[in-house]
Structure 1
């Protein structure tokens, strides 16, 4: 109508604008929610593992037991004086090497030489009494052939003839009984003198033998005035000096034979029944040359009640005398050379928080496999339980995670000697 303004609806346009804005916000929120929900349900694919594998196999793993002990001299002896006397010279000193028969020390020999001369003179006197020279043998002497015995034998023969003649005259009653008894007595006396002559000669022969033995003893004492080494050895200590007077048996020098040495070691009582002569022993010393492998040569028949261990010995060659007797040594005794076990490189085993595992490849993927470990040797470790020969594990366990194993890759094959060789192998891509 004229004069009336047209109604504008003061809230009209703003209301439409607000509703549109609300619908737009709702639509955007719904779209974002659906987009976020879709992203949460998608799982990302883990990246594949590219690593070297190890094929599980049995290895030769000899059964061993640790041992420790000392390398002692094969022989140790204290050489003493066999005769009393004053030391004239000492020919050796600490550390010297001597061969068997080498003179270690000499006594003053003058008195002993005089004793030899005296014994020789007495022997000559004894032999002269029976009419023998020094070169004549006493074993060929016949007492019946000596002049004194022959003389008494002739007198006895004459007495027997006189007795027989007197007996015949008495039977014809030409001689009296008194004459016969006189002849009989004379014959008995002659027989006794003959026997005494034989005994006298035998006594002279025995005396000559005694004088011979005394001469030998005097010569031996003179020879033993030079004290000699009984075997090839080294001088561990000397106990005398020139001018000292030593009695019989007094120590002169201590000798040791250090080639070979004796390893005297022990193993626990638990392994006593497994020890045997000929078993291999590997030894080492803290300082010194590398020791050769040796074998057990002797085993004690009893257990030490204090240490509960058994003692054994092995001969260790020492031709250059580079190893000193008394050195401490340790090593292993190989109880069973043919024992075989499953072993892996130490790098394949993962140890964390008391757990031990490897990453085994199953159907082309790496999965955890708990294992039980035994002893270790060099770079290998024994697997007691958890794996079987022919299975494959990651060589480097630190790379392990639940993921497929990608080709191409390598398999490290373990050999019986603990080494490894590698050759390529393919698996189907997961």
Structure 2
């Protein structure tokens, strides 16, 4: 542009960024993979109850993970396991005490009978035998005297009677000895019955605590503390979570093709949106088809795992948060405040709680689960209120005038990675609701039952690959200041996969340590781009393998 007779100015024209179309790079199965929709379910489910009846003292909450009580082949305890529920055991302890007394009484009876058999009766028999010998001698002497007319007949008769009486006494004591042996056998049987009664009483006492024979998760709780349950009545429903089964319906032709020695990819969508591939092991195929759909149910087993909402292990965490004006506790209507006793900490100055400063009862907790806290002093009272056997709430008085129980919250039990909770003096606590399962009963997954290539990878359109001097590369979108540029990444093509995929896509891998996951791939205009060129993403296309194959 020129104005009058002024100096000439040079005008520089800036090149507009090249418009491009991008897709999101994610690992995925081959485009020709036969992905079928399937549902996850508990492989084993069991309703567990007590072998004895009584009043429930404690029961775990729903969704609690339970470790099973495991024995070896010789019935030796390997893992004690986690208690699921517990009955009030006082009457069973009394039954054990009575059974122990019965055993002691039976043992004393056996000991007394054996003492009489081994000591008293043999002594009586020996005395009776001696009397019999003396009577026999008197009787023999009397007979000789009478035979010589030197003795009286009456004396002979008396000596004979004494002899017969002595013989009878010996026979009576010998019979008593045999009877005592039988009595001891009977008393030993009574002792064994008493010992069996003691074992039964002890087992009934042990059965007041309920355990599982396998590791799983509580799917349903059928009772609450204070309930009266009968022997065998279901208390909780426990489901096995690892491994977890995946079920899908297939045709007769597909069911015949499946082999129990093959592994079948199962694709799981994680909470982050990323799709992970896991191996599915063929468990069983129904022998009878569904009469309505003429399909067979195929069951795969998948190794399940848990993950935590808090990935950093070097932080302070708490499983829950509390308000102090709990209306369901006695005395709350009078303005009394209560806190779960595990939340109470103590130092040299007394008891205290951690108040949350970035969340109140009027709003939600922070999305990043990071709770900002400050220390508030309290005075503890003697009154404690159990609640359904799961929590114990203690009455407290807050010594901080800025604390409003209707608005402010406190954290629950504090857990730290190093040291003890009383020594922690930080400002941020993370709310950790515990581990969550990757797969839960009812979740939907995709299963690949195809017989071709099953390798997951980055499958991209062929027109997104730039070839220069025998080298192959792709261009990805990279943010740069206020705009974006095209960044060239050398890649390797896997030509051996070409026969298993469509002609319009191929599998690539980055050369070197570069990660392709989550990057935006430029799919149009690639052949005109140079490394570092400014670009403008005008739209995002669908991924090459995003169509539904269910």
TM class by smaller structure: 0.5 to 0.7
Q: Output aligned runs, 1:22-421, within 5 Å.
A: 67-90=36-59, 92-100=60-68, 101-131=81-111, 146-155=115-124, 185-285=168-268, 290-300=275-285, 302-306=287-291, 307-320=293-306, 321-335=437-451, 378-380=501-503
Cα offset, 1:263, TM superposition: 1.9
* Structure 2 runs not aligned, ≥5 long: 1-29, 69-80, 145-155, 307-436, 455-460, 464-498, 505-550
Structure with greater contact order relative to length (CA < 8 Å, sep ≥ 6):
1
Q: What's the secondary structure of 1:255's corresponding residue?
A: strand
Q: What's the secondary structure of 1:130's corresponding residue?
A: helix
Cα deviation 1:261-298 (Å, max 9, x = unaligned): 11233432123333221212122356756343424342
In 2, are the aligned partners of 1:146 and 1:201 still within 8 Å (CA)? Answer: no
Per residue, is there more helix in 1 or in 2? 1
CA distance in 2 between counterparts of 1:148 and 1:271 reads: 81
CA distance in 1 between counterparts of 2:442 and 2:270 reads: 13
In 2, are the aligned partners of 1:67 and 1:331 still within 8 Å (CA)? Answer: yes
Distance 1:243 1:305, change over 3 A: closer
Cα deviation 1:177-201 (Å, max 9, x = unaligned): 9888766655543333212111222
In 1, are the aligned partners of 2:57 and 2:225 still within 8 Å (CA)? Answer: yes
Q: What's the secondary structure of 1:304's corresponding residue?
A: coil
CA distance in 2 between counterparts of 1:185 and 1:68 reads: 96
Cα deviation 1:2-54 (Å, max 9, x = unaligned): xxxxxxxxxxxxxxxxxxxxxxxxxxxxxxxxxxxxxxxxxxxxxxxxxxxxx
Instruction: Name the structure 2 match of 1:139.
Output: none
Instruction: Name the structure 1 match of 2:339.
Output: none
CA distance in 2 between counterparts of 1:300 and 1:178 reads: 94
* Structure 1 runs not aligned, ≥5 long: 1-60, 133-142, 339-344, 348-375, 382-430
Q: What's the secondary structure of 2:275's corresponding residue?
A: coil
The two structures, once aligned, show a CA RMSD in angstroms of 4.2
CA distance in 2 between counterparts of 1:315 and 1:193 reads: 72
Q: What's the secondary structure of 1:74's corresponding residue?
A: coil
In 1, are the aligned partners of 2:268 and 2:278 still within 8 Å (CA)? Answer: no
Distance 1:291 1:71, change over 3 A: farther
Q: What's the secondary structure of 1:284's corresponding residue?
A: strand
Q: What's the secondary structure of 2:43's corresponding residue?
A: strand
Aligned length: 276
In 1, are the aligned partners of 2:89 and 2:208 still within 8 Å (CA)? Answer: yes
Cα deviation 1:365-417 (Å, max 9, x = unaligned): xxxxxxxxxxx965349xxxxxxxxxxxxxxxxxxxxxxxxxxxxxxxxxxxx
In 1, are the aligned partners of 2:286 and 2:298 still within 8 Å (CA)? Answer: no
Cα deviation 1:117-143 (Å, max 9, x = unaligned): 2222222222222339xxxxxxxxxx8
CA distance in 1 between counterparts of 2:186 and 2:178 reads: 12
TM-score, normalised with respect to structure 1: 0.53
Larger radius of gyration: 1
CA distance in 2 between counterparts of 1:167 and 1:304 reads: 98
